[in-house]
Amino acid sequence: MRLSLRVTKSSPRTKYNWKEFSENRHLQEQYTVEVRNRFQVLAEHEDPSVRYRRFVDANRKATEQWVPKKEHNKKVPYSKYPEVIKATENMQETCKRHITTGSEEDRELLKEAKEMLFNA
């Protein structure tokens, strides 16, 4: 009998734009009203842990409704930058030239091209 372990990918967490929220008075007021409305429904004499759990849930739902979400920006890898592409092409051409000629001058040019690529 063979057992296999499955790795489940967790869903990505939503990121909220708290800076935009803190600058927008209207959103803050709507958020406050939403939490108050949900929290006022609670009974006064219920267990404190249940009351707190409901308060947290009211805040979570108000956050989902009134706090703007951050946009997901994919980062471009360094290898896709135009400066890096140009430096890579230059180094490859210089390397080919140095391999065919084997001259000391081409070796120095290759060294400079590698340094330019490193700096890019």
pLDDT in tens, 29-65: 999 999 988 877 656 677 888 888 888 998 999 999 9
Domain count, the chain: 2
- Euclidean distance between CA atoms 69 and 103, whole angstroms: 59
Instruction: Looking at the structure, tell me whether residues 62 and 32 fall in a common domain.
Output: yes
pLDDT in tens, 62-117: 999 999 998 877 787 888 888 888 888 888 888 888 888 888 888 888 888 888 88
Per DSSP, 12 falls in state P
Instruction: Looking at the structure, tell me whether residues 52 and 83 fall in a common domain.
Output: no
| pLDDT of amino acid 29 | 94
* Alpha-carbon torsion, ordered 12, 17, 18, 19, to 10 deg: 150
Domain that holds residue 107: 78-119
Instruction: Looking at the structure, tell me whether residues 87 and 51 fall in a common domain.
Output: no
Instruction: Looking at the structure, tell me whether residues 92 and 54 fall in a common domain.
Output: no
User: Which SS3 state, helix, strand or coil, does residue 82 take?
Assistant: helix
Q: Which of 84, 60, 72, 56 is nearest to 17 (CA)?
A: 72
Instruction: Looking at the structure, tell me whether residues 57 and 82 fall in a common domain.
Output: no
